[in-house]
Amino acid sequence: MTRRAVQTTNAPAAVASYSQAIDTGNLVFLAGQIGLDPATNEIVEGGVEAQAERALLNLTAVLEEAGLSMADLVKTTCFLADINDFAAFNGVYGKFMTTPPPARSTFAVAALPKGARVEIEAIAVRSSD
């Protein structure tokens, strides 16, 4: 099995012992992204909607570095610091997804890195066509 790290400066750099993504050839496993601006490494202002948008833009950047797009996502796992943000988060999330959208799980968690309101991790599949 091939196992290659995916790294782009268009998404925040890893802040611990992890890769932005691991490409195995057919599957790409994307690490969780929060609403960090890659230029400043700070959480974006504007609450859960702005953070969700930034997290999704970060995921898009990592996917693009791997030669993929949001249309290649098959599974996302979403973490919210407050489940009451679900509707606002879902509104932003839906704008980024293609039809059919990937399978998804969403959880409320006690806390996220840097005080983030949302984190999104994903799995994408490279088409063999």
DSSP secondary structure letter of residue 40: T
pLDDT per position as a tens digit, 85-100 = 999 999 999 999 999 9
Q: Which residues contact 24 (CB under 8 A, 6 or more apart)?
A: 1, 2, 3, 4
Element spanning 13, H or E: none
C-beta atoms surrounding 119 within 10 Å: 23
pLDDT per position as a tens digit, 9-67 = 999 998 789 999 999 999 999 999 999 999 999 999 999 999 999 999 999 999 999 99
Residue-range domains of the chain with CATH: 4-125 (3.30.1330.40)
pTM over 0.75, yes/no: yes
